[in-house]
Structure 1
Amino acid sequence: MKKINWLDHIANLLVVILGISIAFYLESYKEEESNRTQERKYIASLIKDLDTDIQALDTLHSINESISEALVTLSNASLGRSYGSDTALMNYMFRIQYNPPFSPQRTTYESLKASGKMDLIGSFELRNDVVDLYEQFYRGTNEFDASLNEHIRDFIRPFNIENVRFSSGQSISPDFLKKNEFRNMIFGYRYLFIAKDNFYVSVKERAEIVKGKLEEYLREE
């Protein structure tokens, strides 16, 4: 009976096990490095998107201030206060027909969401911050814009069509400022628009915070 060299068999088995372990380790390391590379690319892209959003919110704030000025002047005029010339009045009436929307850059976020790769962002807290910004704050801007657009569609434009002649710079009815319909319409719009602008300011602040956290996380990687 041939003697079995158990030591040799055990050595060969250990070599096989070691080889398999190394192969698994290398594959795991390769996958981890690939995920880390993807994570850095996604985060860098999110930072770029947020930077664009922050600049857009700055621009919108400047435009919103101009519209808010028109709304304050018109609401005060409905109470009998001075509004300047008829040309200025028509300019204010024309200005309040415009509600500039916020259209955030969502491509990177939606790509992460649709591909199920949100977990690539290793920090649970940071991942939640990103989701909260897009799903809560950015969604809130859409709701404000929708409400204001409805107000413009249902009240502002129909009222202007009936009472204002923009082509000549003269009002069809010189007393339209004194109408209760106008007063209710303009005050309701004023407070809704100012609430929207204030919310936009908070959205910008939130976007800056998330962008800063993403940049810090990227530096630490």
Structure 2
Amino acid sequence: MKGRRVTFGAILLEIIIVIIGISIAFGLSNWGERRKEVRMGDEFVRTMINDLKSDSAAFVYQIANVQENISNVESFMDMCRRKDFREDSVRWYVGNFMNKNNWLINSNTYEILKSGGKLDIITDFELRSDISFFYRIRTYQTDVILEQNLAFEQNQMNPYLTKHSDYFISDIPDNGFVRDIEFQNLLGRWRDLKEGKLSIYENTLEDIKALIPKLEAYLE
């Protein structure tokens, strides 16, 4: 009996050793996978920083263009109100007020993480929330304002200008269409859309400037 008890104890000890060994190996494997995910998360964050820096430079440029565009439209509207229809001025404004200034946020890195269910590899919960808010809200807003501008151009402004296409090709153009209330209302709508775009672009740029330092601090 004594020999059997010793044998049973030895077997039990071996089982315990095996269990401990498996647990350590499993723990080391999980630790290694987690370290791998952390390094992957850092790479995604670096890519996101580069994306945001490119977006930041683009929005600075776009904002300046939109501001200039709004100024031109308002000057054109003022000229129409004053009925100061000088031929050279009308031709210049008609040729310039439709300048298009659009930019869509580069959300590829965020979408890769989101679609793969990998956002949690960025371990800072608050930072993850800031990233998600920025890309969900600002991407949606820039998409919507672009759609609104395109719809206005295609469904209202372009059809109106097409009706008066002789103005753009005639040697002796008739600028009478700019006197129409319909055209002046279209200018007002165009100005309002541009102001909406400007507000969204400015807010987006502010958020980018706030988010980049948080991402850089995360990597330190």
22, 25, 31: which is aligned to 1:23? 25
How many Å apart are 1:157 and its aligned residue? 2.0
Unaligned runs of 5+ in 1: none
Residue 87 of structure 1 contacts residue 170 of structure 1 at CA under 8 Å; is this kept in 2?
no
66, 69, 72: which is aligned to 1:67? 69
| More off after superposition, 6-15 vs 137-146 | 6-15
Counterpart residue number, 1:34: 36
Unaligned runs of 5+ in 2: none
Structure 2 letter corresponding to 1:136: I
Counterpart residue number, 1:178: 179
Q: TM-score, normalised by structure 2?
A: 0.88
Counterpart residue number, 2:102: 101
What is the aligned-residue RMSD (CA, Å)?
2.1
Aligned residues: percent identity? 23
Counterpart residue number, 2:201: 200
How many Å apart are 1:100 and its aligned residue? 2.2
Residue 48 of structure 2 contacts residue 109 of structure 2 at CA under 8 Å; is this kept in 1?
yes
CA distance in 2, matches of 1:81, 1:175: 11
Q: TM-score, normalised by structure 1?
A: 0.88
- For residues 153-172 of structure 1, the aligned pairs below 5 Å read 153-163=154-164, 165-167=167-169, 171-172=173-174
CA distance in 1, matches of 2:54, 2:81: 41
CA distance in 2, matches of 1:178, 1:22: 83
Residue 107 of structure 2 contacts residue 139 of structure 2 at CA under 8 Å; is this kept in 1?
no
How many Å apart are 1:167 and its aligned residue? 4.2
Counterpart residue number, 1:114: 115
Count of equivalent residues: 217
Residue 83 of structure 2 contacts residue 179 of structure 2 at CA under 8 Å; is this kept in 1?
no
Q: 1:88 to 1:218 in 2, by over 3 A?
A: farther
CA distance in 2, matches of 1:81, 1:106: 46
Counterpart residue number, 1:128: 129
1:157-188 deviation digits (Å, cap 9, x = unpaired): 2232333623468642x333321111211112
CA distance in 2, matches of 1:160, 1:170: 17
Residue 97 of structure 1 contacts residue 156 of structure 1 at CA under 8 Å; is this kept in 2?
no
CA distance in 2, matches of 1:128, 1:199: 20
Residue 61 of structure 1 contacts residue 201 of structure 1 at CA under 8 Å; is this kept in 2?
yes
Structure 2 letter corresponding to 1:115: G
Counterpart residue number, 1:216: 217
Larger helix share, 1 or 2: 2
Q: 1:199 to 1:108 in 2, by over 3 A?
A: same
